[in-house]
Structure 1
Amino acid sequence: MADFCEKLTAIVHISELPPISKFTYLQPLLKGEALAAINGLALTEANYETARDLLQQCFGRKKRIVFSHIQELLNLSVSGKTTADFWMLYDKLQTHIRSFKTLNITGAEYGVILTPLELSRLPENIR
């Protein structure tokens, strides 16, 4: 979600577009809980800021974002035993690590717990 918020800010929020146009761009980008959070808001200039505030309150909290990444890491597993499967796992891990860096969370903070956990999911001959 942090990546989405950064993209939205860079592309839409800081643009010179009027707020109603920004709101028009925002709505189709949302789904699930995020869309539900702003359901019922009429497409008006004032409601663009209301929508941004609601989304920030619901999804912009650092702890919630970190928790989401950790949940995804806990659910990671190697789907097979081919080299491609291991590269896919590596790519997924790197995505979360980059997100942690963006949130100013260091490997020292998450590595102590997540490294042994992820290693335990690998086949013994790979560890």
Structure 2
Amino acid sequence: MRRRAFSLVEILVVIVIIGILAAIVIPRLTGGGKDASGKPTLAPKQRAQQVGTISYVSQIQQAITMYKMDNEERLPANLQELKRYGVTDEMLIDSVSKQPLQYNPQTGEVTSPTALPGRVGNALNLPNSVQGQ
């Protein structure tokens, strides 16, 4: 009885295929690649931090809406006034840059010092229902 083994050519073909797949996938996982539009991709940890900031800003905007409903459509003078609406100190810090979120008391706009997807200028592009308009 003769045992059948892989030939050297078959093993080399498999190694080349694995190498090509790794060259495609690894940059996307580490943040060094580019997406379909040619923009550089972020590392998963950076993307998760940005998503966390977007979530916090959305919650802050909802708290501003509740504040306006309770205070005759007036905007809070600062974000600290939103503590009773569930806004915590952690939510007021950008998770990527560790800088405080910026707040404009005239417009009620909350901005992040870091570049986030879906932004218009320096403001987050949130749905109108979230912005409290």
Give the TM-score normalised by structure 1.
Answer: 0.29
* Greater percentage in strand: 2
Larger RCO: Structure 1 or Structure 2 (Cα < 8 Å, ≥ 6 residues apart)?
1
Q: Higher Cα Rg: structure 1 or 2?
A: 2
* Greater percentage in helix: 1
